[in-house]
């Protein structure tokens, strides 16, 4: 218990520091976003603590960087979308090679559920579905949502392809609920990123059906 408390405190402190760097990064972007002080810091600290607790509960060490990195990236995108209603290419596009490399390294270890094939299938399923929605109703989804979907699909697909369907359904439900409570445009990015990150937190230690 003492070790868990200590690791959680350290994770919160490190997460807060990394979150501060993320907030500065958002302001530095070409079309910068002024994130309120504390948003990125608190979110990143929460991610760090959650991963520390989950690791103590059996999350494989080789998977730990995935929910940590994905969580930090998701916080930046969620804050950006919430504040400016856009998902900048500067954050979405570079994520493709980074995710491909990270998953290639992670999947070198014997995973209990995800495979490289399921990761690719998840990316195609998520991005393809969103591309069709965008083609059918250009005002229904932004181009940034489609670009985001490919990365999210690859990461969640590495856990299990059915998890991609769960994230897509959750994102749709959360967006509908938010739309019913908000008069103006609704940011769809956070609705994708929150359930997706929860899937990475459960990770390959969960007994989801493999692809």
Domain ranges of the chain: 2-205
Query: Could you tell me the pLDDT band of residue 210, with boundaries at 50, 70 and 90?
Result: very low
Question: Integer distance in angstroms from the first to the last C-alpha of the chain?
Answer: 36
pLDDT at residue 157, as a whole number: 92
E strand or H helix that includes residue 81? helix 65-84
Query: Could you tell me the pLDDT band of residue 183, with boundaries at 50, 70 and 90?
Result: confident
Q: What mean pLDDT, rounded, does the chain reach?
A: 87
Q: Is the pLDDT confidence value at 107 over 80? A: no
Measured distance CA(9)–CA(11) in Å, rounded? 5
Query: pLDDT tens digits for 68-103?
Result: 999 999 999 999 999 888 899 999 999 999 888 877
In Å, how far from its chain's centre is CA 131?
19
Q: Is the pLDDT confidence value at 121 over 90? A: yes
Look-up of token digits 């007994």 = 207
**Overall pTM surpassing 0.85 (yes/no):** yes
Measured distance CA(75)–CA(77) in Å, rounded? 5
pLDDT at residue 1, as a whole number: 65
Residue 193: exposed, middle, or buried by beta-carbon count in 10 A (0-12, 13-18, 19+)? Answer: buried
Residues 203 and 63 sit within 8 Å (Cβ to Cβ)? yes
pLDDT at residue 142, as a whole number: 87
Residues 37 and 23 sit within 8 Å (Cβ to Cβ)? yes
Q: Is the pLDDT confidence value at 14 over 70? A: yes
pLDDT at residue 187, as a whole number: 87
E strand or H helix that includes residue 147? helix 143-159
Q: Assign 210 to helix, strand or coil.
A: coil
């Amino acid at each position: 218990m003492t070790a868990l408390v200590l690791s959680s405190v350290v994770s919160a402190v490190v997460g807060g520091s990394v979150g501060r760097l993320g907030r500065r990064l958002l302001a530095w972007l070409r079309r910068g976003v002024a994130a309120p002080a504390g948003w990125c810091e608190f979110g990143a600290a929460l991610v760090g603590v959650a991963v520390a607790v989950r690791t103590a509960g059996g999350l494989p060490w080789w998977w730990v960087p995935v929910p940590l990195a994905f969580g930090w990236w998701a916080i930046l995108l969620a804050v950006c979308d919430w504040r400016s209603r856009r998902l900048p290419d500067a954050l979405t596009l570079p994520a493709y090679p980074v995710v491909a490399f990270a998953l290639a390294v992670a999947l070198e270890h014997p995973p209990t559920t995800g495979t490289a094939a399921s990761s690719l299938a998840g990316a195609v399923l998520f991005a393809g579905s969103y591309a069709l929605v965008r083609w059918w109703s250009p005002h229904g989804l932004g181009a940034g949502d489609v670009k985001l979907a490919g990365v999210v699909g690859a990461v969640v697909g590495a856990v299990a392809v059915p998890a991609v369907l769960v994230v897509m359904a959750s994102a749709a439900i959360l967006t509908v609920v938010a739309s019913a409570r908000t008069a103006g445009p609704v940011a769809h990015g956070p609705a994708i990123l929150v359930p997706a990150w929860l899937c990475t937190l459960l990770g390959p230690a969960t007994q989801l059906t493999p692809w």
